[in-house]
Structure 1
């Protein structure tokens, strides 16, 4: 079997005009020298033994020895007795190589032509490069994941995996996981479903994308909560739909006017994106009257409701809020959840519960568009749920997150006053909304805090139109109790500086 170095030599020794008439050992020398200078053979990497390279390239060993000797004499390689020949850490032309790299960078065009919607996406990207630490919202404490138990399950499955676990999947996810998800949702969230309605995804963004591709044509109308999750807007932006703002219900809305804030006029919505059990980002709970009104409207216009139940497991007081999907039989609701908040985001496992009429076509499209996989991970997750570890983990995290929430809320009330806690916040979820006075620049404050190592998200970025509320989303789930107060004091200083300017 040829070494990678031998493959490189054979490719670069293809007939070239500048090598005509040159001795073979000189051609080999030039080939290896260029590979060292352009980084194909990185510093400290070993070269094959001269005998091996000669055999693999059909050269004489003396040819290889002459090339190696010249490279060593000029400082490109060094040899150690009994160990072999290695690329030098620094080469005589290292400065020249750096200069070439800078020149190559200078030759790269400053702009490329992207599609207009891609340009808009990149210019206003929302995904943060840092995803851990105080006060990053929407991130659980991943250090508490029962990795030892999960690791034992995964190790056992890897010892003798069946072919079905190692190839492309088809059918909406591993059957055991779909059954485990259906059973969990029936009990914990009052979802009406069976395993055939469950489709395993790689998260909510894939579920949004699939729903749009299957149910909405370009320029069709969709309703999205205002303010709402930025992920909805980003995927919608790339799919070319007409977005209408569905204003979030406030405490001032009369219970007798469930349609307050609905878009008026225009074409009926094909999809209505909502977070009814714990609105993101404000934290309110959608009233029963508004839920029923949306269900009636979706049925009347032939549309579908996309219910994102992203962190409903973490409610710290009062009765659990049942799902919108379970309010009536065969509701026009696509129910979506994820294990990103209950376990860890890097798992990349979510799920959709589809109306019966949509289940089969969605499964087929999902397999064709995204090529299902991760079957071993899904099988292990099914066992984690079936053995009771998942439910036990959620119970432990509820206690932990409730304690951290109370600590952060107490600091806000003590140092800033109760008015700074957003009035719509329910006692649930993984973040609080710190309400700021009118005129504050929440984006600038967030940037200043990030420069001091404290992560937040500005509330105004969750609005699509002018008149946005100002505030900061403060995630407490991924912050150790001992770190909450020091990080909050950093944030306080940023707020004081902002008020002083």
Structure 2
């Protein structure tokens, strides 16, 4: 392409009425011409004065474009000689290189033996086998709010004015220390406030130094698993269990061993006990998703088993503050005398999910290494939010907010149970309603809870299928998770009526298929 053709081409493509600056347009057009080969390597570009005259634009605009093309390697400029298109074509020899035969003068290198289950190398553009499994099993929902989304608090009831006032006070004279990376472990006043709160509310045994601030339960589990396990190590998980925790473990290469639960919680079978895992992930105070409480006898048995066989226990205490009819139950960690339990929790369900502040309590002998790990892997920040939260807790706002929300959620829970009874009587069992932000509505064995979930979504109601929480499809039980916390009292009855119609229609269709 000679300079006259270049000028004519650029002039035809420049859009002088566009909101895109002329400099950006000219740069983009010249980059495209070079990359597509319209401007071949070695082509001499017109002088800045000539091109500016041809295009009827300021010479400085062309100068800036040439300077940017030079900086990005598209062109080469030589004083006194001119500006030429650089040769940026891919190195064909490198692209088409084949594996060379081994050099007989070099020592042989033995490649690691691949696992029998190792996936074949993916095609260009595909996810890895691990990535494909993660996406295929993903449980994240397209909507995170509305009837009856499980696990979501009513953020409209959050005391935003109080939070805003505390935040404004801290920002008014912003301490530079709050605007940098967080120290390993997080903001110390917050750790101290959490330590005092958890000792009273959850019977946790810890010092402020044992608390490590994270972005939530997912990150806490991720850190613990990275530091305490290797790829291929085995982990007990409850069957069924929270899909998010399961995804974290599997993405890190841990082999899951589903252990069934009964009315007393985790119930390892004889063959499970004969082959101790490296760690166990449990929700003892409110099993997720079925809601039972691990009995004291089971807790003591698990702790003694972990002590004898060096099993790490991750205790996920995700929403136990919201217990109806009795005080919140003591933590498993509070019974641990051997330093085997890593306790993880989150402020999201107590306050608002977007806060993204959680915590873990590490055994004393692991604290320094966990602090180093969280700083090395995640480069934590959010110190200003942590400082606001510390003030919020120390001023008593957390305790009063949880108390108020426990009463409100208790009302909503009862309204939902009454609606279920009004529509189905005792035909469909209600499970796991003693605590938390959701309950489980059982469905007949011939039902398909995934079909019910999809039909409910089309009707404007969000539920989750119970079967999605099982690792082994042979163990599944049909049911729906119904969250009531984020649904205003006056909307629960109407929303459940819509869901009931979907259930009746879908279950009836399933029954006809079974009978045919």
Both structures adopt the same fold (TM-score exceeding 0.5): yes
- Pairing 1:442–2:449 present: yes
Q: Residue 430 of structure 1 corresponds to which residue in structure 2?
A: 437
- C-alpha distance 24-444 of structure 1, shift in aligned 2 (>3 A): closer
* Residue aligning to 2:499: 491
C-alpha distance 475-220 of structure 1, shift in aligned 2 (>3 A): same
Which residue matches 1:454? 461
Aligned to 1:382: 390
Q: Does 1:300 align with 2:308?
A: yes
> How far is 1:178 from its partner?
0.8
Q: Which residue of 1 aligns with 2:485?
A: 477
Distance 2:124 2:419 in 1: 47
1:417 aligns with 2:407: no
Kept in 1: contact 2:316–2:345 (CA 8 A): yes
Superposed displacement of residue 477, structure 1: 0.2
Decide which of 180, 194, 197 is 2:210's aligned counterpart. 197
**Using the alignment, how far apart are the partners of 2:335 and 2:416 within structure 1?**
34
Identify if the C-alpha distance between structure 1 residues 212 and 31 changes in structure 2 by more than 3 Å, giving closer, same or farther: farther
CA drift at 1:153: 1.8
Per-residue CA distance 1:9-53 (angstroms, 9 max, x = gap): xxxxxxxxx4x42499757646744xx9xxxx9x655769xxxxx
Please state whether the residue corresponding to 2:297 is helix, strand or coil. Answer: helix
Unmatched 5+ stretches in structure 1: 1-17, 49-56, 69-108
- Give 1:364's aligned residue: 372
Instruction: Tell me the residue number matched to 2:189.
Output: 176
2:286 aligns with one of 266, 269, 278: 278
Name the SS of the counterpart of 1:244 in structure 2. strand
Would the aligned equivalents of 1:248 and 1:261 in 2 still touch at CA under 8 Å?
Answer: no
Q: Does residue 113 of structure 1 match 2:126? A: yes
Of the three residues 242, 247, 256, the one matched with 2:255 is 242
Distance (Å, rounded) in 1 between the aligned partners of 2:391 and 2:310: 38
Query: Are the equivalent residues in 1 in contact too, given 2:221–2:344 (CA < 8 A)?
Result: no
- Given the alignment of the two structures, is residue 142 of structure 1 paired with residue 155 of structure 2, yes or no? yes
Question: Equivalent residue for 1:400?
Answer: 408
The partner residue of 2:362 within 350, 354, 357 is 354
Q: Which residue of 2 aligns with 1:66?
A: 56
Show the counterpart of 2:3: 21
Deviation, 1:117, is: 1.1
Q: How far has the Cα of 1:241 moved from its partner?
A: 1.2
Q: Given that residues 412 and 421 in structure 1 are in contact (C-alpha distance below 8 angstroms), is that contact kept between their aligned partners in structure 2?
A: no
Note the C-alpha offset of 1:170.
2.1
| Deviation readout 1:244-289 (Å, 9 max, x if unpaired) | 11211226x9xxxx85546526642111100001111001111000
1:482 is paired with a residue whose SS is helix
Distance 1:32 1:350 in 2: 52
Instruction: Give TM-score scaled by structure 2 length.
Output: 0.77
Structure 2: how far apart are the matches of 1:246 and 1:122? 24
- Kept in 2, the 8 Å contact 1:245–1:263? The answer is no
Structure 1's consecutive aligned runs of 4 or more residues displaced over 6 angstroms after TM superposition are 57-62
Cα distance change on mapping 1:497 and 1:27 into 2, 3 Å? same
Pick closer, same or farther for the CA change 1:148–1:27 going to 2, 3 Å: farther
Which has the higher mean CA deviation after the structures are superposed, 302-311 or 262-271?
A: 262-271
Distance 2:236 2:495 in 1: 37
Q: Say whether residues 1:391 and 2:382 are aligned partners.
A: no
RMSD: 2.7
Structure 2, unmatched stretches of 5+, are: 24-46, 59-121, 510-516
Check whether the contact 2:325–2:434 (CA below 8 A) recurs between aligned residues: yes
**1:212 positional shift:** 0.9
- 8 Å Cα contact 2:466/2:479 also seen in 1: yes
Any idea what the Cα deviations from partners look like across 1:220-255, whole Å, max 9, x if unmatched? 11100011110121011111112111211226x9xx
Deviation, structure 1 residue 330: 4.9
* Alignment correspondent of 1:164: 177
